[in-house]
Structure 1
Amino acid sequence: MADEITVLVNPAARGGRTLRLLDPVLQRLRASGRPVSVIVGTSAADALSRAREAVAAAPAALVAFGGDGLVHLAVQALAGTAVPLGIVPAGTGNDIAGALGIPRKDPLAAADVVTAGGLRTIDAARLGTGEWFAGVLACGFDSRVNERANGMTWPPGMAKYLVALARELRSFTPIPFRITLDGEAVEREAMLVAVANTRSYGAGMRVCPDARPDDGLLDVLVLGAMPKGEFLRTFPRVYLGGHTAHPAVTLRRARRVEIEALHGAGDVVAYADGERAGPVPLTCVVEPGALRVLVP
C-alpha cells in the first residue's frame, strides 16, 4: 500500500527496553491515520528478506526501530529505491540517526519525524560484495576488539567490550596497510583506518567530524602507528573530534577507497555500521543520492 508505514524490528530483540517502547511508537505512528505493519524476522537474514518484500510493494516508508545495526539492515533493502528510510532510534549508539538530526533519546519524537518530517536524499557506500553502509566502516584496533568481544560469552553487556579492549591492547601491533584513494595508493602502518559517510560510530566516536552524508564523498581517516601509551592518550579524543590535529592522523576525501592489509598483518576484518563486513581487502565506492531519509 502506497500510504502504509512498515516498521522493521530487530529480530534479536527479546523483551527489555526496546520492545517496551514498541507499542507506544506504533500507536503514535497509527495516530497519523496511516496503516502500520510490523516486520520481525526469525533471524537477520529472514528480516532482510521480509524487508525487501515490503520495499518491493512500495510502502510510504520502511522504519528501522532499533540501533545502527538495524538501520544497516534496512539500508540493504532500501538503497537505490524510492522508498524512504525512517529511523526510530532504540539502540545503544544511534550514530546514524544523530548525524541526520533525528531525536536519539525520544522515540515518540522520532516517530513524529516519520509521519510529519521532510525528505532528505543522502549518499551511501557500497562494498565490492554488494553490501551497503550508511555510516562508518572501520578496521584496525577497534575491529579487532569487536572480533574478540563477539567470541566471548562472558561478561555480559558492555563489560565484555571493556575486557576485550584491555586484552587486545596487550597484543595489538600496528597493521601495515595499502590504502588507495581514487587510484592514488599509499602504504602505511596504522592503528585504525575509517571510511565515513557520517561523522561518528561506536556510540559517539566522532572519527571524521566533518563528514557529510550528502557531499558525494567519503571521509577517510588513517591513525598512524604510535606507541601504546600515546594511543591510550589519543583514542579518547575521538569522542569529541579532538584527535584530528594529532600528527599521526591523516584525513582525506575520495569517491573510491580500497583497503588492503599487507603481508604479515594477519587477519584484518572490517566492521560497517557496527556490523561485520568481512576481511580486507575491500573496496568502498560512494553512491551519491542512494538513500531517501525522513528527517526533521
Structure 2
Amino acid sequence: PHPDAPAALVLLNPHAGGGTARALHAHVERHLHTHHPNATLCITHEIADAERAIDALPHGGRVVLCGGDGTVHQLLPALVRGAHELALVPVGSGNDTARALGVLGLRGGWPARLDWALRAPASAVDLGELVCEGGHRALFISSLAAGFDAAVALRAHAGPRWLRGMPRYLWATLRELIALRVCEVTVSDAGRTLHSGRTLFASALNGPTYGSGMPAVPGARLDDGALDLLVAGAFGRLGVLVMLPRLLLGRHLGHPRVHVFSGASVQVHASSPLPLAADGEPAPAAARFTLRALRGALQCVRYPSA
C-alpha cells in the first residue's frame, strides 16, 4: 500500500488463541513500522481497552483485529456504533468469522493477512441480533447457538486452555452428553409455525460454520439479508454420537430430524430456558427470544473466495 493510505487501528489481543497471539507482538510491530507506518498498533489486554481505542477513532475508520471469534464478538457494538470497517487477522482458536470472510484461504500466514486487512476494500455484511423477552440483546456475526450446541460451546469456552479448536469442541460435546436434556421448542416466522416439538437445538447461522469449522449450513452467506436456523429434533445420547460425524462432514442436512429454515426474523419459544452462546461467547439462558438479520450492518474486509 501507498504510504499515504488512510491510517488504521490495529488491535492485538495477546490472549487470543490461548495466548499464542502474544508471540506476534514484536513481529507485527516491526512489520507495521516497515510496511504500514500510518497504522497504529494497540495491545489490548482487556476488551474495555479495545473499546476505548475504537471509540477514539474518527467515524468510519478501519479497525484491524488480530484475534479470534471472541474478540470480534465482544467488539461488535463499538464497531457498529462508530460505523467502522472491520478487517480480521485470525489468531484465535475458533476463527469461524475469518472462515466466513474467506480470510483463511489467504496464503502467506499472518503477514499476508495483515497486508490484505490494511489495503483491501470493505463491503457490507449482515449481523444477527438476539432479542430476549426479558430485554437482553446481543449482536452476533457468525452464529447464535441455542440448546445442546450452546451448552457445548459454553463448556468449550471454559475448557482447558491446552485444548484448542475442534479437539476442544469434541471434548465439550462428550462432557455435555452426560447431562443431555431435550425440551419442547416452537420456532415461528411472523406467526407461521416452522417447527414444534422436542428439540436438541435451534441455532441461527449467519455464516456457514460454527464450533471451530463445523459446516452447519454450508450455503449460508454473510450478505443475503437472512439467518439460517438449523433445528435438530429429538436425539438421545446414541443419536448425538451418530449425528456428530455427519455434522463434522456436513452430511447432517439429509437427516429427517434436521431442518434448516431461512428468514430475516424468527421467534423461538421453549418450555424451559435454553443455554445460549453468541459467536461461541456466553449469553444469558432464555426461553423466549427473537433472532433478526440486520442487513448490511457492518463493513468488512473479505477475501475474494468468500
TM-score normalized by the length of structure 2 = 0.84
1:174 matched to which residue of 2? 182
Deviations 1:153-189 (A, max 9, x none): x685357755543332122022211222233234221
8 A contact 2:148–2:180 mirrored in 1: yes
1:157 matched to which residue of 2? 163
Instruction: Quote the sequence identity (%).
Output: 32
Shift of 1:237: 1.7
- 1:140 paired with 2:147, answer yes
Judged with a 3 Å threshold, the aligned counterparts in structure 2 of structure 1 residues 133 and 87 are, in CA distance, closer, same or farther, namely same
Shift of 1:48: 5.0
Indicate the larger mover: 180-189 or 156-165. 156-165
Partners of 2:44 and 2:268 lie apart in 1 by: 33
Partners of 1:135 and 1:120 lie apart in 2 by: 16
Shift of 1:145: 2.6
Q: Which amino acid aligns with 2:265?
A: R
Structure 1: runs of 5 or more not aligned: none
2:78 matched to which residue of 1? 77
Correspondence for 1:10 among 9, 13, 17: 13
Shift of 1:230: 2.2
Judged with a 3 Å threshold, the aligned counterparts in structure 2 of structure 1 residues 279 and 14 are, in CA distance, closer, same or farther, namely closer
Shift of 1:40: 3.8
Q: Which amino acid aligns with 2:190?
A: D
Deviations 1:245-277 (A, max 9, x none): 111111110111222221xx3x42211111112
Secondary structure at 1:177 match in 2: strand
Indicate the larger mover: 29-38 or 208-217. 29-38
Indicate the larger mover: 157-166 or 211-220. 157-166
Q: Which amino acid aligns with 2:153?
A: N
8 A contact 1:218–1:253 mirrored in 2: yes
1:226 matched to which residue of 2? 235
8 A contact 1:182–1:254 mirrored in 2: no
Judged with a 3 Å threshold, the aligned counterparts in structure 2 of structure 1 residues 171 and 17 are, in CA distance, closer, same or farther, namely closer
Judged with a 3 Å threshold, the aligned counterparts in structure 2 of structure 1 residues 237 and 255 are, in CA distance, closer, same or farther, namely same
Shift of 1:231: 1.8
Map 1:95-110 to 2 at 5 A: 95-103=96-104, 106-110=109-113
1:49 matched to which residue of 2? 51
1:213 matched to which residue of 2? 222
Shift of 1:243: 0.7
8 A contact 1:84–1:292 mirrored in 2: yes
2:191 matched to which residue of 1? 183
Map 1:261-276 to 2 at 5 A: 261-262=270-271, 265=272, 267-276=273-282
Q: Which amino acid aligns with 2:202?
A: V
TM-score normalized by the length of structure 1 = 0.86
1:294 matched to which residue of 2? 301
Deviations 1:10-56 (A, max 9, x none): 26459942121233334434444452223344533x1353144134x
1:21 matched to which residue of 2? 24
Indicate the larger mover: 135-144 or 184-193. 184-193
Judged with a 3 Å threshold, the aligned counterparts in structure 2 of structure 1 residues 138 and 16 are, in CA distance, closer, same or farther, namely closer
Deviations 1:204-226 (A, max 9, x none): 11111111111111111101112
RMSD: 2.7
Partners of 1:23 and 1:285 lie apart in 2 by: 41
Count of residue correspondences: 290
Judged with a 3 Å threshold, the aligned counterparts in structure 2 of structure 1 residues 282 and 48 are, in CA distance, closer, same or farther, namely farther
Partners of 1:14 and 1:235 lie apart in 2 by: 24
Secondary structure at 1:157 match in 2: coil
Partners of 1:14 and 1:24 lie apart in 2 by: 17
Q: Which amino acid aligns with 2:176?
A: E
Partners of 2:189 and 2:122 lie apart in 1 by: 31
Partners of 1:103 and 1:226 lie apart in 2 by: 33
8 A contact 1:29–1:115 mirrored in 2: no
